[in-house]
Structure 1
Amino acid sequence: MFRHPLALLAAVMLALGLTAAPAHATDWGAPGPYATAVEIGVVNTLYYPRDIAQGTRRHPVIVWGNGTGVAPVVYRDLLLQWASHGFIVSAANTPMSNLGISMRAGIDALTARDADPGSIFHGKVDLEHIGAAGHSQGGAAAIVVGADPRVDVILPIQPGPLADIDGVHGPAFLMAGQYDSIVWPALVKAFYNDADHIPAIYGELRGVNHFTIAGDPGPFAAPTTAWFRFQLMGDAEARSMFYGPGCGICLDTRKWSDVKRNSLVP
């Protein structure tokens, strides 16, 4: 089987006990420049830049789906991490997110609030740049919601099997955990293999199990932040983490046990 020269180099370095690290100056896992706030609603909880009403920019949206039986608070640190980088995160308040109903409702609600002169979100929501993300059952929901024409990009984290990626129309970054015994890496890789109609990346985090993401986002913070900064904000440095011959995650064998990119990834 043909292997990309960079992947072969990384494998050789790992076999020799060496590690390859990407030459990127930005620590995407660090908090961003925005202080954050949380608004708990009936259908969705919002995580967003605290001073959003005072600024002039529009902020991209991320809709989030939880794993089975849990609430957004389980992922609070990760969602606040994204908000600190300038995103409005709408997390579904449901322990059964697979159909993506509450995630779509979150887009509807933010659309209404962006148009409401009495809302702090008036004129501040970038409805042209929307991503869908989630963990486990919520990862499957991110795939389901990825078929919505309003959603530009998806980030399924250790996604459950009840989804069809054929309907997704934007780029996908599918994340797996090397030691996940609930959603095996092979199940995530199956979504990747089926995503031959869109730019798709498979990333398997070294040493990670299904519950690593709960509480402290740890190894998920940096790559997920970079993915959305690239896809929803056009950040050129973040782009180089995933695209191009110097793909950062492709080289970083300390953090990634497997990375694959299909032929539609530049």
Structure 2
Amino acid sequence: MSRGVVLLAAATLALLGSGATAQAGAPAPGAAPAKSVEATYSERGPFEVTKQLGFGCCDSSGHKFDVWYPTDIGANGEQHPIITWGDGTWAHPFQYDYLLSHLASWGFVVIAPDNTNTGSGQEMLQAVDFLKGQNDDPSSVFYQTLDTDNVGAMGHSQGAVGTLNAAITSGGVVKTAVPIELPGQYMCTLNLPKPDAAMTVCADPQKLTTGSVLYVNGSGSPISLSTQPLPWEQIGPQSAQGYYGATPDTVQKATATLNGPNHNDIQGQPGCPPNDPGCVSGVQGFLGTLTAWNMDKLRGDAYAHSAFVSGAGELFSQTAWSNQASNITG
């Protein structure tokens, strides 16, 4: 590891995450799209959303689960895919409320352990197990409303590490993973004071053998870099580019950098509140791409899928994004 990387880590460690139908909006088969994929899924989806903090108990550390879900869940016999969420270090699910509510408005049931220590991914998988139990419980609002065959994992910073680890260890339960602002591997190997034990947990993308993965970062993050200072084979994955390169080509994978946002903009609202010097642009720029990926991988949305096709997909022509790469064809 270079001296520059070590100094960068020492300076930035504390920033690790401070704390209708589902197809509505997409064109009908054979119809010309009225909007781009990005514009379609950046907008609020067709479902009203209910949020319940502390809905159920508990992960192995005793932390309750928060949930976001369509208010009329299960209407007309519809079953809803699950997304399990991992917080950044020192962060809580309510800090990601805008993003998680947006996903639920497109028909997903989102569950998040209120745990600031999600790097292992196990708490995220325990949240999935909890919802599967709810799906079998006649007294639960989720009774027979969940598509338990389609589970995704998403997370920010340390939660992005947990997202990748959950996908690796789930035995195929997690169909797709979206690590957001995934820190370089140097962050879990430095001999520095750490906020908690989970900071020693790394994620090895070479062990991901099933499902799919989308690596997303903001260009303004000093922790989740876009490109490698040296090839990942020499120094390990230290950037989105490095994690993408180290992920086996047998796995469907994509990566892209949103130009502008810093490490914690994913926590925000559209735009930045007054007197928040840490906010650059807020969450808005992330919404369309993150939602479209999950619509593709968990709901089989062909229109959303088209955005990620290598070279030809809409993601590759958008000036708001850079460093795009994908092995997805057709």
Is the 1:146–1:167 Cα contact (8 Å) retained in structure 2? no
Over alpha carbons, which structure has the higher Rg?
Answer: 2
Aligned partner of 1:224 among 273, 287, 290: 290
> Where does the alignment leave 5 or more consecutive residues of structure 2 unmatched?
1-34, 58-63, 186-201, 228-238, 270-282
Aligned partner of 1:195 among 232, 235, 247: 247
Shift of 1:112: 0.6
Amino acid at match of 2:217: A
Shift of 1:87: 0.1
> 1:1-266 residue pairs with structure 2 within 5 A?
24=36, 27-41=40-54, 42=57, 43-147=64-168, 148=170, 149-160=172-183, 161=185, 162-168=202-208, 169-186=210-227, 187-197=239-249, 198-216=251-269, 217-243=283-309, 246-253=312-319, 255-262=320-327, 265-266=329-330
| 2:197 alignment counterpart | none
Is the 2:310–2:326 Cα contact (8 Å) retained in structure 1? no
**Distance in 1 between residues matched to 2:253 and 2:305, nearest whole Å:** 14
Amino acid at match of 1:251: S
Shift of 1:46: 0.6
- 3-state SS in 1 of match to 2:42: coil
**Distance in 1 between residues matched to 2:298 and 2:145, nearest whole Å:** 15
* Structure possessing the higher relative contact order (Cα contacts under 8 Å, 6 or more residues apart): 1
Shift of 1:257: 2.1
Is the 2:226–2:323 Cα contact (8 Å) retained in structure 1? no
**Distance in 2 between residues matched to 1:111 and 1:247, nearest whole Å:** 34
Shift of 1:245: 5.0
Is the 2:310–2:325 Cα contact (8 Å) retained in structure 1? no
**Distance in 2 between residues matched to 1:252 and 1:53, nearest whole Å:** 36
**Distance in 1 between residues matched to 2:96 and 2:66, nearest whole Å:** 12
Q: 1:119 to 1:139 in 2, by over 3 A?
A: same
> Where does the alignment leave 5 or more consecutive residues of structure 1 unmatched?
1-22
Is the 1:53–1:120 Cα contact (8 Å) retained in structure 2? no
Q: Deviation per CA, 1:7-49, whole angstroms, max 9, x where unpaired?
A: xxxxxxxxxxxxxxxx726521111010001122243111100
**Distance in 2 between residues matched to 1:107 and 1:157, nearest whole Å:** 19
- 3-state SS in 2 of match to 1:105: helix
The size of the alignment, in residue pairs, is 243
Q: Deviation per CA, 1:105-158, whole angstroms, max 9, x where unpaired?
A: 111111111011111111101011011110111111110011212100111111
Identity %: 29
Is the 2:92–2:115 Cα contact (8 Å) retained in structure 1? yes
Is the 1:47–1:80 Cα contact (8 Å) retained in structure 2? yes
Shift of 1:55: 4.1
Is the 2:154–2:179 Cα contact (8 Å) retained in structure 1? yes
CA root-mean-square deviation: 1.7
Amino acid at match of 2:226: P
**Distance in 2 between residues matched to 1:24 and 1:90, nearest whole Å:** 29
**Distance in 2 between residues matched to 1:54 and 1:238, nearest whole Å:** 23
- Flag as ranges the 4+ runs of structure 1 deviating above 3 A: none
Amino acid at match of 1:34: F
Q: Deviation per CA, 1:44-100, whole angstroms, max 9, x where unpaired?
A: 111100111544110001011011110001110000000000000011210111011
* TM-score of the two chains, using structure 1 as the length reference: 0.87
Q: 1:203 to 1:245 in 2, by over 3 A?
A: closer
- 3-state SS in 2 of match to 1:79: helix
